[in-house]
Amino acid sequence: MLEDLYIEQPNQQIREEVLKNWQSVLLPDEDMGILADLTADYLMMTDGRGIRGVKPVMLLMCGDHGICKYGVSAFPQEVTLQMINGYGRGTAGANVMARHAGADIIVVDVGTNFDLQAFPHVRQCKIAWGTEDFTQGPAMTKEQAIAALETGMRIADEAIDHGCNLLETGEMGIANTTSTAAIAAGFLDLPAELTTGRGSGINDERMKIKTEVVRRGLEVNKPKPGDGMDVLCKVGGYDHAGLAGMILAGAARHVPTMVDGVNATAAALIAYGISPNCAKYMLCSHLSSDVSAKKMLEVLGLKPIVHAGMRLGEGTGASLAISILRSALDTYRKLTGE
């Protein structure tokens, strides 16, 4: 599946036509700003088919991380399980925001450290029981990475086959911001100190531990800058891999992805490292307050739709941005008569 991937450039002419249509209904001193650009980008990415409306689906990829045992998060690994249980009850912030955006949620166990077979709302796709401790060696094998990528691709294809025309990233896995910091540092060839953020709001003591874990992971594994597959195998997570696969599959079928916070941006960076053209089918929901977010977005060439200081992840920022996209499209249709 991955070896047959082909992603073509979107039709820039569609974008130019949409912007021209916006200008035709506005007075000279009026400017719709980001709403015009957002509409034009989305319609370009969907070959104009998105004009009929947004049908979003969030793929919420869940995976645990072997480096959690070092105390890099404010929460224990058991919170991964608690949050997944909350998704089933519909009580998590991800559920509330997705409902507001009109997005269905597909929760996927790509690599948690828990037996979730009794959870009917979870797609059972476990590649492994969490990643390996990347301070001791690679987080996963290449075979495992490909399996996780293709899991995301397969589920994205299923969603698209059922009418989805906008994919939305969601992720859950305690300690995943540590893997994200290592992905950003490895891919961008930066020291750990420039990519490691406070994630779940850790204190200074945990921050020192987290930074050292990232530094050791880079030192031991020596990921190749710019090589998405190599970086994923050495310091990534199964949640990152599932999302990267989703992004790649969507791009191949001209279905864009609304990228959420810093963890999803790291997954987008992995996808970009595997097939750079996929970045042409990404929309950036918001600028995460995490330190590495801006650096990764610059490489991807993405501009945030909103600046809200959000740090939760789990697709919440993406859902907020989808509501803005829906409003922009509705306005465009009514003003232009499309």
Active site residue 314: yes
CA 143 to CA 181: how far, in whole Å? 23
Q: What angle do CA 311, 287, 108 make, to 5 degrees?
A: 55
Full DSSP string of 270-310: HHHHH-GGGGGGEEEEE--SSTTHHHHHHHHT--EEE----
CB 94 within 8 Å of CB 87: yes
* Residue whose tokens read 């501009």: 303
Query: b vs e for 50-70, b when ≥16 Cβ sit within 10 Å of the residue's Cβ?
Result: beeebbbbbbbbbbbbbbbeb
- Asked if 251 and 238 count as a contact pair (C-beta separation under 8 A), the reply is no
Dihedral sign from CA coordinates of 23, 259, 322, 47: positive
Contact in structure between 286 and 302 (CB atoms under 8 Å): no
> Which is the catalytic residue, given 17, 171, 314, 338?
314
Collapsing DSSP to helix, strand or coil, 61 comes out as: strand
- C-beta of residue 139 within 8 angstroms of C-beta of residue 234: yes
Strands (E), the chain: 56-63, 104-111, 122-124, 166-172, 257-259, 282-286, 304-306
Catalytic positions: 314
